[in-house]
A and B are shown apart, each in its own frame.
Chain A
Amino acid sequence: MQIPIEYYLILSAFMFSTGIVGVLTRRNAIVVFMCVELMLNSANLTLITYSSYLGDVAGQLFVFFVMAVAAAEAAIGLAIIIAIFRNKLTVNIDQINILKW
């Protein structure tokens, strides 16, 4: 393994920060969901990196389960967004605020 492990960790940290900025600045609920997927994937990259550099298979199994949970989360989340869109005809999270205060 000729590449220093720090390179992968810094790339992962950068992707995670990008995901945070996206979640905080975007107003479209579906795009916010996609930014959450981006953050999940940056965590996956760290797990795979350590799994590969330590020669331990547990990290890759964890990534497999993260993928299963992400698929379930995407299905449920998009179903909720479809249900909200049917009621309010918008997916802008500034207008979906009936649970606020």
Chain B
Amino acid sequence: MTLELVLFILFGSICAVSAVLMITRPNPVISALFLVLNFASLAGLYLTLNAQFIAVAQVIVYAGAIMVFFLFVLMLLNPEKEERFFKEKTKLRIFIIAIVALILVQIIYMIFLSNPSDSVTAEVSRSVQTGTIENIGREMFTNYILPFEAAGYLLLAATIGAMVMAKKKFE
């Protein structure tokens, strides 16, 4: 057992368990907190994949900004505890879970059928070079400058749109 594998098992199991707990808790605030845990462990997985910049961005943007926003809206609205969907519609629940489990088995079958290990190069030094901020920044401001500007405009439009939408209507 190398350290890499130990870290993968640790973060991967936290990730999977918190995802399942998130969709089963009836209280939405507890769901949101489990999603924060999920995003944080996902940042750990990105570190095991040598993607340092994305790991930091994941913690700041997702676990920090977006989830605080979700929690803020949840506590602002304070919705009533949702009535348990599973209680009266047991057949529908079993149907949904069976269909999704079938899809999951199908995806895993496809993963092993395509045998992706053959097509990837397993060079650690190259992988470490890829994820540095220097490399990402150089690519972003040369080859990907147009999508970068477009993302800026998208965020501006979203800011204005959110203000217009959530504003109280004065007549």
Q: Measuring CB to CB, which residues of chain A are less than 8 angstroms from any residue of chain B?
A: 1-11, 13-22, 24-28, 30-31, 33-35, 37-38, 41, 44-45, 48-58, 60-61, 63-65, 67-76, 78-83, 85-86, 90-92
CB distance from A92 to the nearest CB of B (A): 6
Contact yes or no, B121 A85, CB < 8 A: no
Given A2-B5, A71-B155, A78-B73, check contact A52 B49 (CB 8 Å). Answer: yes
Name A40's closest neighbour in chain B (CB-CB): B62
Contact yes or no, B151 A55, CB < 8 A: no
Q: B19, B28, B45, B158: which contacts A75 (Cβ < 8 A)?
A: B158
Which of B20, B82, B96, B108 has most chain A Cβ within 10 Å?
A: B82
Judged by a CB distance under 8 angstroms, whether B10 is at the interface is no
Contact string, B29-61, partner A, CB cutoff 8 A, digits 1/0? Answer: 001100100110010011011110110011001
Q: B31, B103, B130: which contacts A55 (Cβ < 8 A)?
A: B130
Alpha-carbon gap, A90 to B82, bound state (A):
10
Contact yes or no, B28 A30, CB < 8 A: yes
Judged by a CB distance under 8 angstroms, whether B112 is at the interface is yes
Interface size class of chain B, counting residues whose CB lies under 8 Å from the partner chain: 35 or more
Q: Measuring CB to CB, which residues of chain B are less than 8 angstroms from any residue of chain A?
A: 2, 4-5, 8, 12, 15-16, 19-20, 22-23, 28, 31-32, 35, 38-39, 42, 45-46, 48-51, 53-54, 57-58, 61-62, 65-66, 69-70, 73-74, 76-77, 79-80, 82-83, 85-86, 93, 96-97, 100-101, 103-104, 107-108, 111-112, 116-117, 120-124, 126-127, 129-131, 135-136, 139-140, 144, 147, 151, 154-155, 157-159, 161-163, 165-166, 168
Q: B80, B86, B126: which contacts A25 (Cβ < 8 A)?
A: B86
Chain A residues with CB under 8 A of B49: 8, 48-49, 52
Name B159's closest neighbour in chain A (CB-CB): A75
Given A2-B2, A30-B73, A35-B23, check contact A7 B116 (CB 8 Å). Answer: no
Q: Which 8 A-B pairs have the closest CB atoms?
A: A72-B158, A22-B23, A55-B126, A79-B165, A53-B120, A79-B162, A79-B166, A52-B49
